[in-house]
Amino acid sequence: MAQSSSPSPLTGVVAFYKLMNNKPSWFLGRVQAYDAAADKYVVEDVEDPTDTDEVTSNDIMQFPQKYEGFEVGEIVMSLWFDIASNLWMTELYPAVVISVIQPEDMDRHIAVLRFIGDLKLTYVPVERLIRIPTAHVAAIATNAINEANDEAIKMMEPVQKVPKAVTPEKVSPKVVPMPQMPQAVILWKTG
């Protein structure tokens, strides 16, 4: 890509979109170059600087974004905190905003999220989220639904082969006599 003399509108750390295994994904990267004529960026993966991608301006955004509030029920992309490694992952995952809180002892907002495919609630600082660009909402939502369905299918027990249906006319009626009930004996005590 021929570099333009124009300064890059985005610098430093960005979130960028690319397909990974035919799955729409967002990652953290650093801007290496910008071609103003083509309106394209060269970004390097923050974990592996040798892994570079060329992306259009529709597929990249500054990270973190300025916090302007999130709606309850909005699907966002969020970094995931890996407890085992005690590190934030550099891929962003789809999540649904349950609420946004600002604890009294903090000067920042915390999003209460439910990651797609995960039942537990997760608390994430809002600066670790991005609002999905309009051009990507459908792809991210469709992929999230497909992944959730795949997980649900994996969790189901294998379906047993169902026997052929038996129609009422093939069944001969069987008369079952009612059991005999003992007759009640009532004793009255007089006197």
Give the Cα separation of 115 and 153 in Å (integer): 18
**Cα dihedral sign, 131-137-143-145:** positive
What's the CATH code of the domain at 140?
2.30.30.140
Residues 77 and 29 in one domain: no
Per residue in 26-56, pLDDT (tens digit) is 999 999 999 999 999 999 999 999 999 999 9
Residues 136, 68, single domain; the answer is: yes
Question: How many C-beta atoms surround the C-beta of residue 118 within 10 A?
Answer: 14
Domain encompassing residue 31: 1-63
Instruction: Please answer whether residues 115 and 148 qualify as being in contact, where contact means their C-beta atoms are separated by less than 8 angstroms.
Output: no
Contact 110, 100 (CB under 8 A): yes
Measured from the Cβ of residue 158, the count of other Cβ atoms closer than 10 Å reads 5
Q: For residue 180, is it within any domain?
A: no
59 and 84 assigned to the same domain: no
- Residue 14 and residue 79 in one domain: no
Average pLDDT over the chain, rounded to whole? 79
- Closest of 144, 2, 166, 173 to residue 74, by C-alpha: 144
Residue 35 sits in the same domain as residue 74? no
Whether 140 shows a pLDDT value over 80: the answer reads no
Quick: pLDDT tens for 154-179: 665 554 444 454 444 444 445 545 55
Query: Does residue 175 fall inside a structural domain?
Result: no
Structure pTM? Answer: 0.68
Our count of domains for the chain comes to 2
Q: Which residue has the tokens 């052929």?
A: 164
